[in-house]
Amino acid sequence: MTTATAPQTETEAKPVLSELSLGFSPCPNDTFIFNALVHGLVPSPGLGFTPRLEDVETLNRLVLAGALDVSKISYHLLGHVLEDYLLLRSGGALGRGCGPLLVARTQLDPARLKDRPIALPGEYTTAALLLRLFDPSLENLVYLPFEKIMPAVADGSVAAGVIIHESRFTYQGLGLTKLVDLGQWWEESTGQPIPLGGIVARRSLGREVLLALEEALTASVRHAFANPGAARGYIRAHSQEMSDAVCDAHISLYVNDFSVNLGAEGETAVRVLLERAAQAGIMKPGSRPLFIS
């Protein structure tokens, strides 16, 4: 692992006051967003970072265990960790037209999937939450790493699967067909954009560190937008099996103005997701503030 700290002037060294473990995925949208932060291309006074790149469900589990200071997580998990973590307003994936897809080998009514195995990319993923909200009767759920879901559907190991990330762009090449766009279903049923993943930080870091962290993360996203080629090497180092076209499509789909700042619309969407999940009995209603006050 590497440690990246804020740039130092020739005349004044900036002491690192907080060395933070930082989790995010190797997916192009995350490496695009975090490149400037972990490589010292934007100011992060007093903050140092030890990056840990893992798939999103591994990150979910690490945060659930309290093993990371700052991390990308699925919004599904957020409702389970609010006692110890709060949500940062920058760096996440939230938008329209970017939700998970339920796919199968042949076109069929999703109601026919009851009691048949359906693959999901992790228990705490937003994909899993959306499927459970879409149809609570679908209970034969099989959890697989996201990259193994399409092959499992294609070879008949499972009847259907919910796909995320770059699989949205490649599932048809395996002969699979879309049954439901869960993001579209969410948007039509709630009127809200779909919250997929956000960045959380330990409440115990304290307000000063949390505010500095949020500011540095916002600067990293803005740097990525202003210098889209700067992260290319970092992105490609972690996405070697993807073409440049798929990487660019991935970033375009999941990184947007909400990634800079959730804003009122994004905050509302997150609250609605958590409320729907609590109403469905999937998680307990939260009592702690979502954001830095």
Q: Give mean pLDDT, residues 24-34.
A: 96
**Predicted local confidence at residue 8, as pLDDT:** 41
Residues 223, 261 share a domain: yes
Does 287 map to a domain?
A: no
76, 165, 223, 250: which one is catalytic?
A: 165
- Please give the Cα distance from 262 to 64 (Å, whole number): 23
Residues 185, 198 share a domain: no
Element (H, E) at 119: strand 118-120
User: H helices of the chain, where?
Assistant: 28-38, 56-64, 75-81, 126-134, 149-154, 167-170, 182-190, 207-226, 232-237, 244-254, 257-260, 263-279
Domain boundary among 168, 190, 212: 190
Residues 87, 12 share a domain: yes
Which residues 6+ apart lie within 8 Å of 78 measured at CB?
85, 87, 198, 200, 270, 274, 290
Domain boundary among 190, 208, 237: 190
CB 216 within 8 A of CB 47: yes
Does 289 map to a domain?
A: no
Per-residue confidence band for 16, with pLDDT thresholds at 50, 70 and 90: low
Residues 87, 36 share a domain: yes
CB 235 within 8 A of CB 32: yes
| pLDDT tens digits for range 76-134 | 999 999 999 999 999 999 999 999 999 999 999 999 999 999 999 999 999 999 999 99
Q: Give mean pLDDT, residues 35-52.
A: 96
Q: Which CATH number characterizes residue 38's domain? A: 3.40.190.10
* Block residue for tokens 């992790």: 122
Active site residue 76: no
**Predicted local confidence at residue 293, as pLDDT:** 84
Measured CA to CA in angstroms, residue 240 lies from 20, 26, 120, 123, 237 at distances of: 27, 10, 24, 27, 6
CB 69 within 8 A of CB 272: no
pLDDT score of 69 more than 80:
yes
**Predicted local confidence at residue 250, as pLDDT:** 87
149 assigned ligand-binding residue? no
Which domain does 74 fall in, by range?
4-94+194-279
**Predicted local confidence at residue 14, as pLDDT:** 52
- Please give the Cα distance from 50 to 111 (Å, whole number): 45
Average pLDDT of the chain is 92
**Predicted local confidence at residue 15, as pLDDT:** 59
Q: Give mean pLDDT, residues 195-211.
A: 96
8-state DSSP, 101: E
74 assigned ligand-binding residue? yes
Residue 232's closest CA among 256, 215, 251? 251
73 assigned ligand-binding residue? yes
293 assigned ligand-binding residue? no
| pLDDT tens digits for range 206-225 | 999 999 999 999 999 999 99
Q: Is 106 left (phi over 0), alpha (psi -120 to 50) or beta?
A: beta
Radius of gyration of the chain (CA): 19
Does 62 map to a domain?
A: yes
Say which residue, 18 or 114, is predicted with more confidence.
Answer: 114
13 assigned ligand-binding residue? no
Does 118 map to a domain?
A: yes
Residues 211, 160 share a domain: no
Q: What are phi and psi of 218, to 5 degrees?
A: -60, -45
**3-class DSSP state of 22:** strand
Q: How many CB atoms lie within 10 A of CB 20?
A: 21
Domain count, the chain: 2
Q: Give mean pLDDT, residues 29-37.
A: 97
Q: What proportion of the chain, given as a percentage, has pLDDT over 90?
A: 82
Say which residue, 167 or 149, is predicted with more confidence.
Answer: 149
- Global pTM reads 0.91
**Predicted local confidence at residue 76, as pLDDT:** 97
Element (H, E) at 179: strand 177-181
**Predicted local confidence at residue 2, as pLDDT:** 40
Residues 218, 77 share a domain: yes
Q: Give mean pLDDT, residues 155-178.
A: 91
Does 70 map to a domain?
A: yes
**Predicted local confidence at residue 17, as pLDDT:** 64
Domain boundary among 139, 168, 190: 190
Q: What are phi and psi of 52, to 5 degrees?
A: -135, 115
